[in-house]
């Protein structure tokens, strides 16, 4: 999301809560194995949620996907469609 408009951010938050975030006109979805996040805000706390955990970020942060890096345990009776 490139918008810093508070109304657009609030609408995206509401869309996420309703499960309609993919249709939000202010959100662009792209695929990548690695990204760099540059925080340009003036707030002293630069935080993000990754994998459900609140993390402190540096002004410049790199996030990389490690394929096969997460093992998930599921019951035997689960099927995947």
User: The pTM is what?
Assistant: 0.49
Bigger pLDDT: 2 or 29? Answer: 29
Please state the φ and ψ torsions of residue 39, each to the nearest 5 degrees. -90, 120
Please state the φ and ψ torsions of residue 18, each to the nearest 5 degrees. -90, -5
CA dist., res. 52 & res. 42, Å (int)? 24
The alpha helices in 5-80, defined as continuous H runs, are 6-18
Task: For residue range 3-57, list pLDDT tens digits in order.
Answer: 678 888 899 889 999 999 889 888 888 899 999 988 887 766 777 787 788 888 8
Q: What are the counts of helices (DSSP H) followed by strands (DSSP E) for the chain?
A: 1, 4
At 71 the pLDDT is 87
What ranges do the domains of the chain cover?
1-30, 32-65
At 17 the pLDDT is 93
Task: For residue range 54-77, list pLDDT tens digits in order.
Answer: 888 888 889 899 988 888 888 989
């Amino acid at each position: 999301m490139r918008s810093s408009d508070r109304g657009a951010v609030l609408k995206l938050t509401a869309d996420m809560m309703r499960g309609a975030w993919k249709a939000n006109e202010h959100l662009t979805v792209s695929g990548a194995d690695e990204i760099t996040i540059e925080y340009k805000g003036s707030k002293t706390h630069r935080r993000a949620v990754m994998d459900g955990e609140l993390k402190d970020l540096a002004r410049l942060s790199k996030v990389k996907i490690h394929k096969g890096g997460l093992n998930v345990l599921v019951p035997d009776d689960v099927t995947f469609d």
